[in-house]
Amino acid sequence: MTMNKFEIHELRKEESWRLFRIMGEFVEGFDVLPRFLPAVTIFGSSRIPEQHPYYKQARELAKKLGARGYTVITGGGPGIMEGANRGGIEGGGHSIGLNINLSQEQEPNPYVTLALKFRYFFVRKVMLVKYSTAFILLPGGFGTLDELFETLTLIQTKKIRPLPVVLIGSEYWEGLIDWLTKRAVAEGMISSDEMNLFQVTDDLDHAIDLVEASRFEGDSSSPP
């Protein structure tokens, strides 16, 4: 269907306002998040109930991080994100949720001490990564996998510093790692050295040791 001149004008006007909204979201994130360094971003499923072991792991891990002076950053939703935000404030740290506007409205979980809301996924994803000193991933679905591979790609291409990427739950991640090794590495899609861009552990204290070994209190997107 061909658009008339009025429709084209209205589309251009809407696109211009969209640009300002995008800029506004970046400006807010750039202004607020540097005040809460050092920070660790924790990813994981929104579908996990409070009674689930993964929720309890996220809560315990974040509590330990908060006690060591780290701000906990999550997507601000339920499930593992809620567990992490809850643990962060229990450990005496700041607990930040970067929420996304969805068709099914997602409100910040009750354990967020600071919530930023985003309309655009790509802006939110930048903010989840930009000011973090490490990235910890508990079991999750498409969103968690998306964050995992995007973060690894940013490190691989030297767009961000080589910061720790820690996967919690060896049994959960086993199949993915097996596939990466037997298919992606074997067929030359990634190198064997690039499998060292992340670590897998079931030991929460070991995960924190990995974070502490690379403690960084700046902008992770600044190359070394």
Q: Does 220 reside within a domain?
A: no
Per-residue pLDDT reduced to its tens digit, 136-182: 999 999 999 999 999 999 999 999 999 999 999 999 999 999 999 99
**What residues make up the domain containing 52?**
8-213
DSSP string, 81-97: HHHHHHHHHHTTS-EEE
Higher-pLDDT residue of 68, 103: 68
Q: What is the pTM of this model?
A: 0.91
Q: Tell me the C-alpha to C-alpha distance, in Å, between residue 218 and each of 8, 24, 67.
A: 43, 22, 20
Q: CB of 84 within 8 A of CB of 42? A: yes
Domain assignment of residue 219, yes or no:
no
CATH classification at residue 169: 3.40.50.450
In whole angstroms, what is the distance from residue 196 CA to residue 212 CA? 18
- Would residue 222 count as lying in a domain? no
Higher pLDDT, 117 or 2: 117
User: Is position 224 within any domain?
Assistant: no
- Let me know if residue 223 belongs to a domain: no
- Note whether residue 158 is domain-resident: yes
- Per the domain annotation, does 48 fall within a domain? yes
Q: Three-state DSSP class for 219? A: coil
Judge whether 1 lies within some domain. no
Under a CB-based contact definition with an 8 Å cutoff, are residues 37 and 217 in contact? yes
Q: What is the pLDDT of residue 93?
A: 96
Domains in the chain: how many in total? 1
